[in-house]
Amino acid sequence: MARKNLLAGLIAPQADQSSEPAIQPRPVELVGASALGGARGAIGAVSRSIEQLKSQTIVELPVDQIDPSFVSDRLDGGAASQANLTALIQEHGQQVPILVRPHPQEEGRYQVVYGHRRLRAAASLGRPVKAVIRRLSDDELVVAQGQENSARADLTYIERALFATALEERGFERSIIMAALSVDKFGLSKLIGSATKIPRDIISAVGPAPGVGRDKWQALAALLDAPGAVEKARALTETLASSDKLSEERFRELMLGLEPRPEPKAATEEPTFTAPSGRKVAVLRDAGSHSNVRIDKRTSPGFGEFLFERLPELYAAYEKAAKGK
């Protein structure tokens, strides 16, 4: 798929009015116009507004004036990951601003396009967040949000699948979703299929599961088709969610708990010779390619040697009987 760096320099800063050094934000790579057959709709709007975006400066906004995007693109990756990002920003400052738009329903407030984790880090540090403000439609928002994450390649497979499904459930055209996630029709169908076949509460309990790709999630979906499997999975994930296991470990243990185990072979009754006195003397055991005669030496000591000595005549009787059949 041909791609252009449509937003290169999207948030290139002008001279900042504060004493801080200029910030060099990372450009965001968007799908080129050829991906949708021409620069139309949301993609065209983004492409046409490059010069306007370049003219915008980075501002500092109070974190309590900013709301999250109307569609989530992440599962909870754990407190440790967020804490690491917060520590980096505390030590080095926020090097990359977030992108927000004026809130479409609430005057004086903003809505995140991308940068939710940086926003949470700024909030926990009690400082304003550096941001670029851009007026975007809903279509433009989801394209920018999805493409920024695709450019950083840090969303897991199931997070991308949930993001695609959430956008479709909100009525976005598939062309917009394809642009947001940089996938073709086949790839998008696979993403949506993975997310819709597995109950959301089970996905949330497992978490983002880095390193777990499409094939493994589809294998999980197949296991959940078995009768009673969903209820069993919910019981397993309830236990796993309360543990300290990593998301990938929770996924592996869930798969192991759902995989069918071979049915144990039914025990067959072994032929047993019992003496007239009622004592159990010998048992014939089928061992596949051969048979074993097990003699109880406690009840019949010496019977094994006696039997072995008479094997020639017993075998001769066996052959005679076999020929007579």
Q: Quick check: 6 pLDDT over 60?
A: no
- Domain extent listing, the chain: 3-197, 198-260, 271-306
What does the pLDDT average to over 281-303? 83
Alpha-carbon distance of 283 to 297, in angstroms, equals: 12
Coil/strand/helix, residue 287: coil
Alpha-carbon distance of 292 to 78, in angstroms, equals: 59
What confidence category does residue 33 fall into, taking pLDDT thresholds of 50, 70 and 90? very low
Name the token pair of 80.
């440790």
pLDDT at 56: 62
Between residues 181 and 125, which one has the greater pLDDT? Answer: 125
What does the pLDDT average to over 286-299? 83
Q: Which CATH number fits domain 3-197: 3.90.1530.10, 3.40.50.720, 3.10.129.10, 3.30.365.10?
A: 3.90.1530.10
Q: Quick check: 103 pLDDT over 90?
A: yes
- pTM recorded for the entire structure: 0.53
Q: Quick check: 304 pLDDT over 60?
A: yes
Cβ neighbours, 10 Å, residue 33: 18
What confidence category does residue 126 fall into, taking pLDDT thresholds of 50, 70 and 90? very high
Q: Quick check: 295 pLDDT over 60?
A: yes
pLDDT at 323: 80
DSSP category for residue 289: S
DSSP string, 192-247: HHHHHHS-HHHHHHH---TT--HHHHHHHHHHTTSTTHHHHHHHHHHHHHTS---H
Q: Quick check: 301 pLDDT over 90?
A: no
What confidence category does residue 273 fall into, taking pLDDT thresholds of 50, 70 and 90? confident
- List the single range of 55-59, 139-143, 214-218 with lowest mean pLDDT: 55-59
